[in-house]
Every structure is written in structure tokens, then in C-alpha cells.
Amino acid sequence: MTTGRRNQAPRRREGRPRYFNRRKVCSFCVNKVETIEYKDVNLLRRFLSERAKIEGHRRTGTCPTHQRALATALMRARHLALLPYTADHIYLMGGATR
């Protein structure tokens, strides 16, 4: 019996795409969000860093248009005390209750 077949699987060129592999997409664009709701705290929270700073688009993959809308929404939410301004606020809101 002859099973002389070795690796004969057709090999396509699979060169690694340099920067295209896991490109982050703006989550708002994906969901086709046009206006970012400032009342949507759970959503907005994802774009705040641990220190309650707004994450840059490089980390979240948000496109410039939505990044701006996001910043506006976040500032509104902060103004309404839905979100913290600084890390200190998180601490105060979360743990120590007077």
C-alpha cells in the first residue's frame, strides 16, 4: 500500500497582516449609535479609566466623531453626578458612607 502523500494541503499565502489583524472598531459605529445618551451610565462607565478619566480613543477604539460625542455625554453625566469627576469621588461614592 502506498500512502505517499505528504503535506499536500494547498497553502495559501498567510502572511500576517501587519496592523489589520485586530483592529478595534468604534463600538458606537458598530451599533449605529448617533447620539450618545448621557443617562446611559453603564455604557459611559466603560469609557472611564480607573481614575475616572476619559479613556482616549486609542484605548477604546472610538472614532473621532463618537469620541467627541462621548466626551460631551460624559461631562453631562458628571454634571448630574451620575459619574465621578475624579478617582476620589469613586472612593467616596463606593466605600465610605458617612
- The contact set with Zn ion (CB under 5 A) reads 26, 28-29, 63, 66
Closest CB to Zn ion among residues 28, 47: 28
Pure H helices in 1-98: 27-30, 41-45, 57-60, 64-79, 87-94
- Minimum Å gap between C-beta 55 and Zn ion is 14
Residue 65 CB, shortest distance to Zn ion, in Å, is 5
| 67 Cβ neighbours under 8 A, 6+ residues apart | 57
Other residues' Cβ atoms within 10 Å of the Cβ of residue 32: 6
Q: How far is the CB of 59 from Zn ion (least distance, A)?
A: 15
Quote the least distance from Cβ 40 to Zn ion, whole Å: 15
CA end-to-end distance (rounded Å), the chain: 84
Q: Which is nearer to Zn ion, 24 or 51 (CB)?
A: 24
Q: Where are the beta strands (DSSP E) in the chain?
A: none
Q: What is the DSSP letter of 48?
A: B
Name which of 63 and 90 has its Cβ closer to Zn ion: 63
By beta-carbon proximity to Zn ion, the closer residue of 71 and 90 is: 71
